[in-house]
Structure 1
Amino acid sequence: MSVTTSRRTALITGLAALTLVLGTSLADPAYAGEQPSNGQGADTEQSGGGDKTGIYAAARITYSGSVAPNGGTGNVTSADVDWTPPPCWYAPYLGAKDFKKKMSAEIEEAASAPGMTGTPAAAIGQTKAHYEDEYGWTDTPGYKDYNVAKDGEGMFWAGVENPNESDYLKRNSCTDLPFWVDNGEAPPPQYEEAITPEILAALAYQHMELPGTEVTLAPAQTTKVNLPTWAWLDKADFHEVRATAAIDAPGFALTATTTAKPVSLKLEPGTPDAVTYPASGECTINDDGSIGEPYAKGNADRTPPCGIKYLRSSGDDTFDLQATITWEIAWTGSGGAGGDLPDGTFENGQAVTVQEIQAVNRR
């Protein structure tokens, strides 16, 4: 094992020991986590700024636009099964004086805990030296007196868990010790998970709430066997959706907006005894932004451009028609950054009653 790796491991072990003793992460969301949205499309309040003591509040991610309430996960399902939002990231945490106050107290508490001897004690000692005596590993220097001399000129960054990530190991995978970044500078390149506009865009995607648009059917709710059922979505009910994620701290600010544009509707009748129009069940968007064509009187015998024909009755039950809308998703962010994200889907279920056509026999 190299000296660099050995020191890095020791420092991470020291942080783990601190966490074990104190029962919390240094990047506790109470300090550096996400700020929930109010779910009303307005900007949420955000802590930040500083006072004459140079003590800064931790940066928080805020969400606005069409997002789930209370910081929850939205209703978008990624069409790419291999794509997932970031489970954790590094973000601005505390100014130097505030960080010294918090970190030094936790180091002392951990060092004095019962049974803290041997390797954990040595690791805590190296962690203390890292922040007090400039003792660092080769690719990352330490900090003299917690960088207090540079207070107000930058911030310590720390790992932040994604509270919406269910996998504990992934959520806790940003394990590097807090590190210093000067105002206006990018984090060191070895911190690949440092917050970026693209990460913010992915988080906006995760929190995005798409409208629960219900497909219009004719006949509505109740149709007849072998009678084409027309399906459509009006342009007014089928529009672009935007969600924005932003982070702001002294000397640091990023924002990203994720935009979802509806592109198609897929119909699944809820029974194999049915025919879809078109045969694939995939109805594409029209030039005017609508999908399908509204039913008009006299078109009962026409084949609808988007619709279903049921071949048997639903009896005393109903068929569960699934209407899945596919959304094309892209993002733009600070500094002119931007790109594409995987298509998203949102599925609506509608109960459809299918009856036999009643005929009158005359003699």
Structure 2
Amino acid sequence: MQIADDQVQAVYEVDGTRLYSSTGRWLQKICGAGELVDQQPEGGLVDVDALAREAAESVSIDGPQIRTSPSAGGLLYVHVPTWLWISGDWWKAYTATASTGRVSATVTAKPVSVSWSTGDGATITCDGPGTAWTPGSDDGASDCQHTYRKATDPADGKSIPLSATVTMEVTWTSSIGLGGTLEPIDRTATVQVAVGEIQAIETE
């Protein structure tokens, strides 16, 4: 009996699914007459593509952290551009790994774009997280903003939902050198906002 260690080779199901040894080792029987019997995996067979999907399902990603200026915790204003962005603490790559024996697959989910539903019927898609407002920022410096045209009535407790859906690209690698892409992951968060008006008072 021979043991071939760490051979990166696959066997195939009838549907073309690639299967790998869970230990990375394959056994080969050599008979006395010199006859070689096809190699068999030492451990169970592993579908590395399914392992990658398992890792993708286990990646832990909370909903995006919505930020606005003016702050969504106060009043937004009609005819005043509202800056929209996702917190930099949230906007990062997320990873997860699934393993069977010595075969593992690691997925990486990276945020790439945000679709904003502003609550007044508008939808905005922004590449990247948006620009965070800082004191002294130029009004035109935001690459992701929305201007409301109609006020809500906060005195009556009325507000509208502001939602952000982040699309994340998903790639995977494995301990046996294979990799690829998977379906994108979406994460959504919603906050309630009130929109007010700035009143101008004419004086003599």
Bigger mean CA offset, 198-207 vs 184-193: 184-193
Judge conservation of contact 1:198–1:333 (CA < 8 Å) in 2. no
- Counterpart selection for 2:177 from 314, 317, 336: 336
CA shift at 1:343, angstroms?
1.4
Higher relative contact order (CA 8 A, sep 6+): 2
SS in 1 for 2:202: coil
Q: Cα 1:338–1:219, aligned 2, differ >3 Å: closer, same or farther?
A: same
Mind listing any 5+ residue stretches in structure 2 that lack a counterpart?
1-8, 20-45
Counterpart of 2:103 in structure 1 is 254
Normalized per residue, the structure richer in strand is: 2
TM-fit CA distance, 1:298: 4.8
Would you say the 8 A contact 2:162–2:190 is kept in 1?
yes
Establish whether residue 227 from structure 1 lines up as the match of residue 80 from structure 2. Answer: yes
Q: Is the 8 A contact 2:98 2:106 kept in 1?
A: yes
The letter of the residue matching 1:230 is: W
> What is the letter of the counterpart of residue 323 of structure 1?
A
Q: Which runs of 5+ in 1 are unaligned?
A: 1-183, 273-278, 286-290
The residue type equivalent to 2:198 in the other structure is: I
SS in structure 2 at match of 1:202: helix
TM-score (norm 1): 0.41
Find the partner of 1:349 among 190, 193, 197.
190
| 2:53 maps to which of 198, 202, 223 | 202
Deviations 1:277-330 (CA, angstroms, capped at 9, x unpaired): xx9722112xxxxx2222234557536311211111122311111111111100
Q: 2:147 aligns with which of 297, 309, 324?
A: 309
- Tell me, in whole angstroms, the C-alpha distance in 1 between the residues paired with 2:103 and 2:184: 24
Residues 1-363 of structure 1: matches in 2 within 5 Å? 186=11, 189=14, 192=17, 195-221=46-72, 222-248=75-101, 253-272=102-121, 281-285=124-128, 291-299=129-137, 301-302=139-140, 304-315=142-153, 316-363=157-204
Distance in 2 separating the partners of 1:322 and 1:341? 25
TM-score with structure 2 setting the length: 0.70
Taking a change above 3 Å as real, the CA distance of residues 329 and 185 of structure 1, as seen in their structure-2 partners, is closer
**Corresponding residue SS for 1:246:** strand
Residue by residue, what CA displacement relative to the aligned partner does 1:27-70 show, whole Å, maximum 9, x if unpaired?
xxxxxxxxxxxxxxxxxxxxxxxxxxxxxxxxxxxxxxxxxxxx
| Residue 305 to residue 332, structure 1, CA distance change in 2 (3 Å) | same
Report if the CA contact (8 A) 1:228-1:300 is conserved. Answer: no
Q: Name segments (4+ residues, structure 1) moved above 6 Å.
A: none
2:69 and 2:63 map into 1 onto residues whose CA distance is 19
Tell me if structure 1 keeps the 8 A contact 2:112–2:166. Answer: yes
